[in-house]
Amino acid sequence: MAVPGPIATSGSPVATGHLCAVTTTLDPLTCSLNVMAGAKGNPIDVGKNVAMMGSLTVAHLAGVPPVCVAHTAPVTTGIPTVLVNKKPVAVTGSLVDMGTITGGIPSVIVGKNVSGL
């Protein structure tokens, strides 16, 4: 499970953990506008396609130069209390490839109790 953080969306940056291409982004075609939160499944609109476990990166080069191969990689962790297409939502810090998602929407924090603010 990922730690609480800003929600990840299409185009969020990813540190790949590879030497051939150290960064990439999340592929908009594998993200969704269908975001449900809470026990009653209330819809949330963040204005962008939201990433979830299983969303993919944009194709990037993996490996160690000079041997670099193009590939995509899925998001492998998320916050299970907020679902996107019945899958845990991805946030900054979610695991992807050999690295993590490094950015999201800072005004939409997922998985943190903010009562009393």
Residue 115, domain member (yes or no): no
Predicted confidence (pLDDT) per residue in 31-53, tens digit: 987 776 656 666 767 778 999 99
User: What pLDDT shows up at residue 41?
Assistant: 65
According to DSSP, the residues that pair with 71 across neighbouring strands are 60
Residue 116, domain member (yes or no): no
Residue 104, domain member (yes or no): yes
Q: What is the mean pLDDT of residues 22-38?
A: 85
Give the gyration radius of the chain's Cα atoms. Answer: 14
Q: What pTM, to 2 d.p., does this model score?
A: 0.86
CATH of the domain at 53: 2.60.200.60
Burial class (CB in 10 A: 0-12, 13-18, 19+), 24: buried
Give the whole-angstrom CA distance, residue 44 versus residue 77: 20
